[in-house]
Amino acid sequence: MKYLKIILLVLVVSCETGETVKDISSENQLKFKENTERIKSMLAAMSAEESDKFSQYFADSLKWSGPDKILIDDYETKEVLMAALDGYIAMYDNHELRDIKFFGGSTYSSEETSDNPNDIRVYGNWHHTHAETGKAVSHKWMALMRFNSDGQIYLFNDFFDVTGFLSQHLN
């Protein structure tokens, strides 16, 4: 009976505070979903070879670390990313990212853990057709994307094996 009184007292006191409990995880889940939809739209623009539309998903101040970079903090500009995209569009057709997966935040980390829905990891397998030879080529891909408050990507780390990808043209 003593425990029942304590439980009732706690319930009454908690109800009387008038404070509402904010469900951060729901807000973060919604923001994560919005960001992943933006990424899907950006990838669709690439697949459709719509450079201008693709460009709109990136902040003008974008820092891009492409797959050719040796260090993770070696960055290029949005203009360099767009030139690289135009190169891919010229060399390849039928762009499709398959087996796509999205992960946000970090539950376990060597650094501070976070449930930030604006930091997203994307994984998948790109499939293209080499425009000159008609040969099907593919590669696994991973990217880290960080979104600003305007919903644009301001940091983009892009990872895949360039040499392995290019060697497919020779076989």
- What pLDDT, in 10s, does the model give residues 45-81? 999 999 999 999 999 999 999 999 999 889 999 999 9
Q: Is residue 92 part of a domain?
A: yes
Type of residue found at 38: R
Give the three-class secondary structure for 33.
helix
Residue 8 within a domain: no
Give how many domains the chain has, as a whole number.
1
Residue 168, classed as helix, strand or coil, is: coil
1, part of any domain:
no
Please report whether residue 64 resides in a domain.
yes
List the domain range (segments joined by +) for residue 120: 24-167
User: pTM of this prediction?
Assistant: 0.81
Rg of the chain over Cα atoms, rounded to whole angstroms, equals 22
The domain that holds 78 is classified in CATH as 3.10.450.50
Whether 24 shows a pLDDT value over 70: the answer reads no
Whether 116 maps to a domain, the answer reads: yes
Yes or no: say if 125 and 141 are a contact pair by the CB < 8 Å rule.
yes
The answer to whether position 119 is within a domain reads yes
Asked if the structure places residue 102 within a domain, the reply is yes
Whether residue 12 is contained in a domain is answered as no
Q: What would the mean pLDDT of 89-96 be, rounded to a whole number?
A: 94
